[in-house]
Chain A
Amino acid sequence: MELQLKIWRQKNADSGGGFEVYRVKANEHMSFLEMLDVLNEQLIAERKEPVAFDHDCREGICGACSMVINGRPHGPNQGTTTCQLHMRFFKDGDVITVEPFQARAFPVIKDLVVDRSAFDRIIQAGGYISVNTGQPVDGNAIPIERDTSSLAFDAAACIGCGACVAACPNGSAMLFVAAKVSHLGLLPQGKIEQDGRVQKMVAQMDEEGFGNCSNVAACEAECPKQISVSNIARLNRALITVSFQSS
């Protein structure tokens, strides 16, 4: 199949950018990133600069790949990262627009690569359980109800890719924060620090310049791990409760 790609090119954080149009021949078994590999090889052969994009595991789990394909983070398929999006979902002659994730808290580094270190700083603010190596009791000393554990897992499945922020018309990181707060707060081990965690993580989120949630739920629709916005409700509840209770 032959495709027309409209790709955002931007030299670095300080320079402006713009769309460039490329033609590329692909086949339906390729992944989207393999199709971009083909384009890059083509560009290198023409002695031009290849398109920079973040990617690593290419099996949908590391969360590195981050691009907006035809207006949608990770492309048109539900529950799929860009690296697992295959070209059989496109047709010969398609025009595909590829842009970087867009949010003030995710500045562009180059082309399709953005800086998502704000997520790391949010986790550093409290997205952990304070336990030193060697302190714990036996694993089975903390029985956890199967359903609770499973619910915590659903939230813990977050790969930190930032598609939620990219999809949100407000550039809000609520789903990311809510997923971590739910993962840890649902488990008995994590309950102890939950109040402080919620406050610190939300404060850090606000400081990073993310927007406010208006319950559009675009995040849920685009999350490659299909994390539910019910986690956001849980975060809201937790923050409201702790705000009124804490001294």
Chain B
Amino acid sequence: MLMKWLVDFLFRSSIGRKVVMSLSGLFLIAFLVVHLLGNLQLLASDGGRQFNLYAYFMTHNPLIKTVSYLLYLTILLHALQGIALARANRKAKGKSYAVSSNAPVSAFSKYMIHLGMILFIFLGLHMYQFWLQMKMGNAPVVSYPGTDHPVQDLNALVVEAFTNPFYVAIYALSMLALGLHLWHGFQSAFQTLGLNHPKYNGLIHMVGKVYAAFVAVGFAVIPVILFFRQV
């Protein structure tokens, strides 16, 4: 009974389906901060020690491992639900107008599905390039004094990848897409949950924009800096 209600609400009701998008989006928003803070360690000029140890911790702590599976699930849910909604919405709209509207709307909101698709494809590349290589044990192994076990030198993998200007460009552009996706997505998530109040709306919108810019720029500068360090 309870299950049926929950499934109906989350996957059938128009508002419930949006709640799924909102909650999963907020979870990903929180994850991105952690991910970015971790990645900024790539910029430490210590030959990758700090980053590699951090990566080892993140992939071996059982709690974090559990959360990471939840994360993969969330990404899938967000993507699949997003695609399903976009399809349903296209059907509900039918034909589009001969002249496109120039009415003021929430910026980039009409392109969420397109930006999302770019990000999904980017994720494939990103996971293949680093996550899969790590899982396959394709990275070189290093040992650091003071640690009792060898760790994979993921830092080297990353640094190597970003010697290629093609990858740098893809990463930087994808991060632009991420920023635009978040520009609308952040406040939209709050609106969908009904967290809207004239007193706080301005704050939510501002935090959302600052966050979107911070995350996009933060992620994008890493490959760029790594690239220029090596030329």
A127 contacts the other chain (Cβ, under 8 Å)?
no
- Binary interface profile of B, 84-109, with partner A (CB < 8 Å = 1, else 0)? 01001101111111111111111001
Q: Which residues from B are CB-within-8-Å of A234?
A: 194, 196
Alpha-carbon gap, A97 to B96, bound state (A): 13
The one of B18, B92, B188 that contacts A171, using a Cβ cutoff of 8 Å: B92
The one of A167, A170, A237 that contacts B101, using a Cβ cutoff of 8 Å: A167
Q: Which residues from A are CB-within-8-Å of B16?
A: 243
Whether A218 pairs with B94 at a CB distance below 8 angstroms is no
Residues from 71 to 112 in A contacting B, C-beta threshold 8 Å: 71-72, 97, 99, 102-105
B193 contacts the other chain (Cβ, under 8 Å)?
yes
B195 contacts the other chain (Cβ, under 8 Å)?
yes
Q: How large is the interface on A (under 10, 10 to 19, 20 to 34, 35 or more residues)?
A: 35 or more
The one of B91, B110, B193 that contacts A236, using a Cβ cutoff of 8 Å: B193
B68 contacts the other chain (Cβ, under 8 Å)?
no
The one of B19, B101, B104 that contacts A71, using a Cβ cutoff of 8 Å: B101
A68 contacts the other chain (Cβ, under 8 Å)?
yes
Whether A71 pairs with B106 at a CB distance below 8 angstroms is no
The one of B187, B191, B193 that contacts A240, using a Cβ cutoff of 8 Å: B193
Q: How far is the CB of B9 from chain A (nearest CB, A)?
A: 5
- Binary interface profile of B, 16-48, with partner A (CB < 8 Å = 1, else 0)? 111100000000000000000000000000000
By a beta-carbon cutoff of 8 Å, the part of chain B in contact with chain A is 9, 12-19, 85, 88-89, 91-106, 109-110, 112, 184, 187-188, 191-196, 198, 201
Which 6 residue pairs of A and B lie closest in terms of their CB atoms, listed nearest first?
A237-B194, A233-B196, A211-B92, A71-B99, A170-B89, A171-B92
Whether A97 pairs with B104 at a CB distance below 8 angstroms is no
By a beta-carbon cutoff of 8 Å, the part of chain A in contact with chain B is 6, 19, 68, 70-72, 97, 99, 102-105, 167-172, 174, 202-203, 205-206, 209-218, 221-222, 229-230, 232-240, 243
Q: How far is the CB of B8 from chain A (nearest CB, A)?
A: 9
Q: How far is the CB of A9 from chain B (nearest CB, A)?
A: 13
Alpha-carbon gap, A203 to B42, bound state (A): 50
With known contacts A217-B109, A229-B191, A236-B15, A102–B103 Cβ distance under 8 A: no
Alpha-carbon gap, A170 to B86, bound state (A): 8
